[in-house]
Structure 1
Amino acid sequence: MGRLIWFSQILCLSFMLLQFRVQSSSPSQSSLDSLLHLCRPEERSALLDFKSTTNVVLNDVSHGLETWNKSIDCCLWEGITCDMTKGHVIGLDLSRQRIEADLTTNSSLFRLEKLQSLNLADNYFSYPNLSFGFQRWKSLTYLNLAYLGFPDNSLLFNEVFLLPKLVSLDLSISPGSGFFHLDNIRFQMLVHNLTELRFLILNSVNMSLVVPSSLLNLTSSLEYLGLRDCLLQGNFPSQVFQLPSLQLIDLSSNNDLRGNLPQSNWSSPFKYLYLSDTSFLGELPHSIGNLKFLEELDLNNCQFSGSIPKSLANLTKITYLDFDSNLLQGSIPDVFGKLHNLTYLSFFSNCFSGEIPTSIFNLTSLSFLSLSSNKLSGSIPSFFFDLVNLTSVGLSSNNLTGTITATMLSKLVYLEYLDLSNNSLLSLSNNGTSINYSFPNLQYFLFSSCNIHKFPSFLRKAERLQELDISKNKISGQIHKWEIEGMSVKYLNLAYNFLTDIDSFGFGNLVAVDLRSNLLQASLPILSTTWDSMNQLYISGNNLIGEIPSSYCNFTSLGVLVLANNSLRGKIPECLRNLRSLSILDLRMNKFHGKIPNLFVTNSNLDTLHLDGNQLEGILPRSLVNCSNLEILDVGNNNLNDTFPHWLGVLTELKVLILRANQFHGAISNSMPAFYFSQLRIIDVAQNDFTGLLPNFSSNQFHGPIPEELGELNSLLILNLSHNSLNGQIPSSLGKLAELESLDLSSNKLEGMIPEQLTNLTFLSILNLSHNELVGHIPEGKQFNTFSNDSYIGNFGLCGFPLTKKCHEEEPGAPASQFDEEDDSTIVFERKFALAGYGCGLVLGLSLGYIAFITGKPWWLVKKVEKYQQKLLGRCNRSNKKRKPKTPTNARR
């Protein structure tokens, strides 16, 4: 939005400067007396009538209409421009006034028939009668109706066509509005009728039906073209870039728009070129060096490849250069020696190799630098830290080496953001802890996955520090109170180090703390932070003992609490019910005992609950039904004693249900309503005492035949029904499971022949039919030729390859399929389920990807659940991969 607002402002200024050449648009002090009666009465009346029909949407916003009153000549009113000789109102600017009014045929504004410039942008105009009076503005040359939110634009475009003198037109809408459409016919009419256009801005207007080749009809006098986020698609004609007067073109955020930059004859007076988030591709042409007036070039997130042309050195006026997220490779050329105006330089996420070019360190005006996520090597030269104007530096995820000292960093007095993470050979030195370094503006300090051995205590004077990430390093021992005293950090990540103790958490406004996978001992740390500020707390994977402190129940804004994989004991505190904002609670792999308390209040925000691997007993608390957002429930490997929780079926968001290795018992009924468990993707009830026929999902002591309907689960990747008491024949319908990669029916009582249809499973890489009562010839061909004897062991009636037992006569073929390809009337499974089982149980899941069945604990399932949980954590966690501060002084923002 920042760029769009700037765009409108620059056009307004350009037009006003143009208009000023023709006639004076504002009075001088010497002619003030002559202006007292300059305003024409009929036009003053029209303006006052318009004012009387408007409403101010925000009362606390100062607006120009306050100056509109009869005691002052209307030519002196704010937003009004008059012709000094005849007194006609020729300019009206009410932009960003937050006023609400109608724009219909009867609007008094249409009585201003000499109007040349009209700017109503960013207000709340409407036209309930779906009619206008634009034809009365025969002299209009500048029209800005951006961000007004008209519900239908077809009539509006018809009116615009009646204004052939238009020089500037802005009909942009707010991004995401989606209701403003411009088809190919109307666009052709627009460029055909408005032959004087120099400025055309249609940002976020839906132009998905406009053929890009139509842009070739644009007038040669066009200077500014704004088509950002217009849903343009297809091939963009490169000739448009060569329009002789073009200074700005913005095609950003048209993801399906393809094209190439001109390879030759490109010498347009370009100043601003924005192609970010498009599908432009190919190599950057050498001809780009001909754009000697270019100030901003944004090619972020395109598909450009190859190397950077050395002609880039000719762009001596460039201030903003963004090549993020492309496929550029090779060395970054040493072309920056003469680019003294450059303030923003980003090559994030490409394939550049080699060392950082030395000429970058001559860019004394540079404030933003990102070379992260490349393959750069070598050390960071000491004179890099002489770029004192730097506010943001990103060099993460490279192969940089050397040691960064506090003395070096202290030179960058304006630095706000520093990310050197994921450079495993790069270390950090305190450089003398007795020196009080000052970092007055530093807010983000990210050194994850480097080679740091000591806590950076020199940061204790960084009073504005918001985030400190030194995770995945080699920091060991204890962090002392004096090392962190004075820090006001909100996001602290010390995960994956070798810390054994933290003297004190003296931070007063902590929002998130991550201490995962250290060597912390003793009890859970007491956090002396503001109770209502803490949002995320991760202390899993340590050696902590004792109980959960009652003070943790005071974190009323806590959204994530992860204490897994410790040796915590005692009962789960009842007071955790006070944490009404909690969305993720992970207490698995500890020694908690007793009953699961009724923590789950009405309208609970909880979406993930992990209690696996404790010593919990009793029944599942029925208050879980209050957790309408619950997606993952894992209470496996405890001592719970209950029947199957049918009542959880009303939770419409539940996708993962793990009850394995408890004392659940009884039958799982087939009579549940169809809407129950409507979103369930993974269910594991193995190692319990469930009995009865195999229903729509898993069990333990199942018996009876394998349901024919399993063949309808066409997204199935894994099917494991091993170690049950299933009998009957293998359904030939399983041959329809075209995506199946693993099939385990071992240790049952299956009989008959192996269906020939199973040879259709071309992705099958794991087959286990052992220990059944199968007979006859083993099917041959395709994947079946790759399986060994182990797949069939314990079936004494089988013969043929790969067994040594030969078949003495041709066995009859497998029975024909008993199902109709088109008949799904008996389907009782959701089509996108996948099934997998373990031991005496069965697991259902959704499209789990490639998973090899491993005997013992089903780690594949654990990993899948954890991966799913990470998606949920992503809703809470802050992303640091590509944080780019705004640049308020340049055109892009």
Structure 2
Amino acid sequence: MALFSLTDHSSPPMCHGDDSSALLQFKQSFFTPVYDFDNLYNCQFKPASWTLELNKSDCCSWDGVECDDNTGRVIGLDLSSSCLFGSISSSSSLFRLVHLQRLNLAYNYFNYSSIPPQVRNLSRLTHLNLAFSNFSGEIPLEISQLSQLSYLDLSSDYSLLELKKAGLRTLVGNLTHLQELDLSRVHINSTVPNTLANLSSLTFLSLCSCGLHGEFPIGIFKLSNLRVLDVGENAGLTGYLPNYKWSSPLQKLYLTSMSFSGELPASMGNLSFLTDLSIRYCNFSGSIPSSLGNLTKLTVLLLSNNSFVGNIPHSLGNLFQLSQLDLSWTQLTGQVPFRLLNLPQLSYLDLSYNLLSGEIKFENETRLTVIGLNNNRLTGPITFGPMNLTNLRVLDLACNKFRGQISNSIFSFKNLEVLFLFENYFNGTLEFDEFLKLKHLYALDISGNQLSLLIEETSANATLQFEDLGFSSCNLSEVPNFIRSQHELKHLNLSNNKIHGQVPEWMWNTSTRSLEVLDLSNNLLGGFSQHQIIFPWTSLQFLDLRSNLLQGSLPTPPISTLHFYISSNSLTGNVSELFCNLSSLQVLDLANNNLSGSLPRCFDNFAESLLVLDLRRNKFQGSIPETWINGSQLRIINFSQNKFQGQLPRLLAECTMLKVIDLSDNQFNDTFPFWLGHLSNLKVLRLRSNKFNGRMETPQTYFYKFPNIRILDISYNDFMGKLPLRLFENWKAKKLADEHMLTYIHENSDFEIRNSIWYAYTAQPYTYSMVMTNKGNDVFYEKVQEVFIAIDFSSNRFVGEIPESIGNLKGAQLLNLSNNALTGHIPSSLENLTELEALDLSQNKLSGEIPQQLIQLTFLEFLNVSHNILTGSIPQGRQFDTFENSSFEGNLRLCGRPLTKKCKNSNEQPSQPSISQESQDSGSTFEFGWKIVAIGYGFGFVVRVIIGRIVIERKHDWLMKTLRIRPLGGKRRRN
């Protein structure tokens, strides 16, 4: 909203004495602050000219004062940006200026005082501007009595003013002459009254960031004189854009960050005066109407962060006045129109985070300063033609499928500041000295391509100071020497190279105050140049040293660290007590080392911030201190493959955000933790290979039964009694394949690296991994998809029958009840487990026939019912035709394919059991011959859920010793 201006008078009338006196008293009520207020607020104290000296006694000549030509009464007072510091009391002489029609006190500092209700005395006001004046508190209802107001501006940068008692309806109900209303960032927290649609004279309406909610009145869009409408940043405000003729003179429409939905009507193409259209961060859907190409006066078009689909309309290439275009974070597909890329006035172009494909060609002269095409599916070489992009400051082509060599044209963009080319298929050799020609460049990331970067020794003398450097996968063999002269780095990524030896000593003096992200993972680094490693970077938040050859003791990250990854090295020794100083730590990944000793009890220092704690595959021992697991933020705990002992800390039950608890392969000695059953976010509970014991019948007072559990592995323990199927009474059977397609159990750890005109995000989510028995083999899941559902109760002492209620476990893909003492028949209700891929009932005492209904399990790739006392014929057809002898052996009375023993209805006599079969049934050890069936009737859902798994083949002796398989008829053996 433009501030009103005052008309100069060539021969001003003499001021009325009462008004002169009131103005002088008003001047005296303010004082000059002790600091340099003028420079800070860019203001000038206009009342300095107010004086009764002979040549200046006429107040109509004073700065900011306007008088009526006929009466000499003060009718206008413009004290905007006048360095007024203090407050206006209810007895202020200002309110004696009863002839005032225009009052402008904007851009002053009224010290968070309230607006006096005596403003009602100024009943002739038509213009009232108190914008950005640091008033606070409730807006007085008396303003609504100023019925002549046509201009009202109470906006500010902060929500200092409130409109709660009176409400928006009451405030504007009597202001029927309003033409311009700006209440931006006034805390209103109400619905938008329909009465606003009755203000037919309204030309400007801004209710931005007011806490509005409810449905926005459609009638406001139809106001015939409205030129500017801004109701953005009201997340609770719902509505839609009506499909009507849209013939108003609307010039600017801002609907950012709201809950508007529906499609953009094609009739918006009739808004021929529109220059600014911003509807970012809403819920709009459908296609972008091609009629927007009719809005030839558009200079700003911002449609990002919606759910638009389809192609970018070619008609947008008609918008020759367009300077800003943002279509990012939508779901647009197809190619980018050539004419759109080459609009002559376009300076800002952001099409990032879409599904756009095809090639990109820039050929015509443009004014582009920002090009954002990252995170799409764009292909081919990037072509710039003969165009001169001297204004270009940001070029982001990251995360696409661009190929070929990087165009030499880039090195002619003399004002380039940010260049992101990472995660593409660019190839060839680059000389770093070429980038040094770009004298304004401060952010460069070429990681994740097929490039070789050559860095000369002379580059160490480079004068450029970088904030962001990404050289991952650039075939580097050492830390580039020029980095030693960098003092402003925030983000340094040298991962996935061949950097060997020790981290150079000079790195300890590099960007010690500014560095926030350091990634040296997946190299060949052997250690550090210092014995006791305490990293020097005081602002470091993300430190990744994973997958190197680091030896020696565990280094201590800086106190500022939020995420520390140092897994898959060869570190030894204890965790230093210095870790207790990391009070803000969120992710700690020490997995796959040779660390030992007990956990420091002072870990409770970061209990409230810690999200992920991964200590798997080390040699930690002792009990888990009860004191430090008292934070409510923990999401993932992985202590697997260590030597922890004792009972589980009961305070785990207070960590209500937990997704994963993996305590497998330790020496915990406890009963089953029913007390974790109320954790509604828990998806994975793994207690495999410990010394857990006791009966698992759920207590009668047990009300919470793991409502969202996805993976429950309690195998290789000493649990007894009947199968605890009551644990799954709250089992959610819905299939999550669509809801979580290609998402893994993880915890986000995103970092925002802020540049002056662009934001670069380094997304490094911690992803949970595990080893689990599947199809007779130990399988390493590098990533575990959300859709994977597995239950493993094997190698315990469960007895009794398998109840028919097991058919309620719909959605399960892996079910392992092997190596127990289960009796009775195989329940036919298993046919309900239509997603089942692996079923292992071996090494039990099950009897009766194999239910024919199991043929319906078309995803079943693995079945093992061996070494029971089953009888009758093996079901034939579908998946059962793919199973081998080993799936059924050890059941003397089974017959039919694939066994050599034929059933009684065959012409051949049943074959006698072999000696090996007899010996196995009489108590000899069972030698596994399981194989993974790769091709079957339904091919199996497993291809969709297992990414990057490693099958660990198991030999008989190793199985007997390590996995403690129980021989039939004998006692269980434990290590």
TM-score, structure 1 normalization = 0.77
- 1:371-450 aligned within 5 A: 371-423=397-449, 425-432=450-457, 435-440=460-465, 442-450=466-474
For the pair 1:724 / 2:820, whether they are aligned, the reply is yes
Q: 1:37 to 1:372 in 2, by over 3 A?
A: farther
Q: For residue 255 of structure 1, report the CA deviation from its aligned partner.
A: 3.2
Letter in 2 for 1:236: L
Q: Name the structure 2 match of 1:453.
A: 477
**Equivalent residue of 2:501, what SS?**
strand
Q: Name the structure 2 match of 1:547.
A: 574
In terms of Rg, which structure is larger? 2
Q: 1:402 to 1:782 in 2, by over 3 A?
A: closer
Q: Deviations over 1:196-252 (max 9, x none)?
A: 11222332567997564x242323422222233443434322231342212122232
Letter in 2 for 1:137: L
Q: Does the 8 Å CA contact 2:107/2:132 hold for their aligned counterparts?
A: no
Q: Deviations over 1:104-153 (max 9, x none)?
A: 8xx22133233221123354332435552635433321122334343432
Q: Deviations over 1:248-284 (max 9, x none)?
A: 2223233342123427973521111122123334333
Distance 1:37 1:590 in 2: 89
Q: 1:535 to 1:223 in 2, by over 3 A?
A: closer
Distance 1:93 1:439 in 2: 47
500-509 vs 627-636, which deviates more?
A: 627-636
Q: Does the 8 Å CA contact 1:704/1:726 hold for their aligned counterparts?
A: yes
Q: Percent identity?
A: 36
Q: Name the structure 2 match of 1:278.
A: 306
Q: Deviations over 1:425-475 (max 9, x none)?
A: 2233332168332333x2222222332222123122221212211111111
Q: 1:706 to 1:850 in 2, by over 3 A?
A: farther
Bigger RCO of structures 1 and 2 (CA < 8 A, at least 6 apart): 1
Question: Residue 152 of structure 1: which of 186, 190, 195 is its match?
Answer: 190
Distance 2:460 2:875 in 1: 78
Q: Does the 8 Å CA contact 1:80/1:91 hold for their aligned counterparts?
A: no
Letter in 2 for 1:657: L
Unmatched segments (≥5 aa) in structure 2? 25-39, 42-82, 109-121, 728-792, 907-928, 931-941, 956-975
TM-score, structure 2 normalization = 0.71
Unmatched segments (≥5 aa) in structure 1? 1-11, 45-59, 811-837, 840-846, 859-893
**Equivalent residue of 1:427, what SS?**
strand
Letter in 2 for 1:426: L
Q: For residue 780 of structure 1, report the CA deviation from its aligned partner.
A: 4.7
Distance 1:321 1:678 in 2: 48
Q: Does the 8 Å CA contact 1:261/1:284 hold for their aligned counterparts?
A: no
Q: Deviations over 1:634-666 (max 9, x none)?
A: 332233344444555576655433322223333
**Equivalent residue of 2:613, what SS?**
strand
Q: Name the structure 1 match of 2:497.
A: 473
Distance 1:628 1:231 in 2: 30
Q: Does the 8 Å CA contact 1:439/1:461 hold for their aligned counterparts?
A: no
- 1:653-732 aligned within 5 A: 654-671=682-699, 673-676=701-704, 678-679=706-707, 680-696=709-725, 698=793, 700-732=796-828
- 1:308-707 aligned within 5 A: 308-312=336-340, 315-335=343-363, 337-339=364-366, 341-359=367-385, 362-423=388-449, 425-432=450-457, 435-440=460-465, 442-488=466-512, 489-504=515-530, 507-509=536-538, 510-525=540-555, 529=558, 532-580=559-607, 581-598=609-626, 600=628, 602-603=630-631, 605-621=633-649, 624=652, 627=655, 629-646=657-674, 648=676, 654-671=682-699, 673-676=701-704, 678-679=706-707, 680-696=709-725, 698=793, 700-707=796-803
Q: For residue 294 of structure 1, report the CA deviation from its aligned partner.
A: 0.8
Q: Does the 8 Å CA contact 1:64/1:78 hold for their aligned counterparts?
A: no
Letter in 2 for 1:287: S
Q: Name the structure 1 match of 2:789.
A: none
Q: Name the structure 1 match of 2:126.
A: 90
For the pair 1:114 / 2:148, whether they are aligned, the reply is yes
Q: For residue 519 of structure 1, report the CA deviation from its aligned partner.
A: 0.7
Q: Name the structure 2 match of 1:751.
A: 847
Q: Deviations over 1:279-307 (max 9, x none)?
A: 33433344323211111111112333333
Q: Name the structure 1 match of 2:206.
A: 170
Q: Name the structure 1 match of 2:45.
A: none
Distance 1:717 1:481 in 2: 52
Distance 1:313 1:578 in 2: 53
Q: For residue 594 of structure 1, report the CA deviation from its aligned partner.
A: 4.1
Letter in 2 for 1:290: N
Q: Deviations over 1:603-651 (max 9, x none)?
A: 4754433332223344445565565555433332233344444555576
Q: 1:616 to 1:221 in 2, by over 3 A?
A: closer
Q: Deviations over 1:549-596 (max 9, x none)?
A: 333333333333322211223343444444444443322212234444
**Equivalent residue of 1:544, what SS?**
strand
Q: 1:31 to 1:608 in 2, by over 3 A?
A: farther
**Equivalent residue of 1:288, what SS?**
helix
**Equivalent residue of 2:316, what SS?**
helix
Letter in 1 for 2:148: K
Q: Does the 8 Å CA contact 1:306/1:329 hold for their aligned counterparts?
A: yes
Q: For residue 705 of structure 1, report the CA deviation from its aligned partner.
A: 0.5
Q: Deviations over 1:753-774 (max 9, x none)?
A: 2333333334333333333222
Q: 1:486 to 1:334 in 2, by over 3 A?
A: closer
Q: Name the structure 1 match of 2:833.
A: 737
Q: 1:593 to 1:284 in 2, by over 3 A?
A: closer
Q: Name the structure 1 match of 2:245.
A: 217
Q: Name the structure 2 match of 1:814.
A: none
Q: Deviations over 1:337-367 (max 9, x none)?
A: 410x211111112222222223487211111
Q: 1:369 to 1:857 in 2, by over 3 A?
A: farther
Distance 1:102 1:575 in 2: 48
Q: Does the 8 Å CA contact 1:80/1:92 hold for their aligned counterparts?
A: no
Distance 2:952 2:456 in 1: 53
Distance 1:471 1:36 in 2: 78
Q: For residue 320 of structure 1, report the CA deviation from its aligned partner.
A: 0.7
Q: 1:427 to 1:673 in 2, by over 3 A?
A: farther
Alignment root-mean-square deviation, CA: 4.0
Q: Does the 8 Å CA contact 2:688/2:715 hold for their aligned counterparts?
A: yes
Distance 1:808 1:39 in 2: 120
> Aligned pair count?
767
Distance 2:629 2:399 in 1: 45
Q: For residue 491 of structure 1, report the CA deviation from its aligned partner.
A: 1.9
Q: For residue 164 of structure 1, report the CA deviation from its aligned partner.
A: 0.8
Q: 1:98 to 1:656 in 2, by over 3 A?
A: farther
Q: Does the 8 Å CA contact 1:730/1:750 hold for their aligned counterparts?
A: yes
Letter in 1 for 2:183: L
Q: Does the 8 Å CA contact 1:600/1:627 hold for their aligned counterparts?
A: no
Q: Does the 8 Å CA contact 1:611/1:634 hold for their aligned counterparts?
A: yes
Q: Does the 8 Å CA contact 1:140/1:166 hold for their aligned counterparts?
A: yes
Q: 1:281 to 1:571 in 2, by over 3 A?
A: closer
Q: 1:550 to 1:145 in 2, by over 3 A?
A: closer
Q: Does the 8 Å CA contact 1:113/1:136 hold for their aligned counterparts?
A: yes
Q: Name the structure 2 match of 1:875.
A: none
Distance 1:308 1:358 in 2: 15
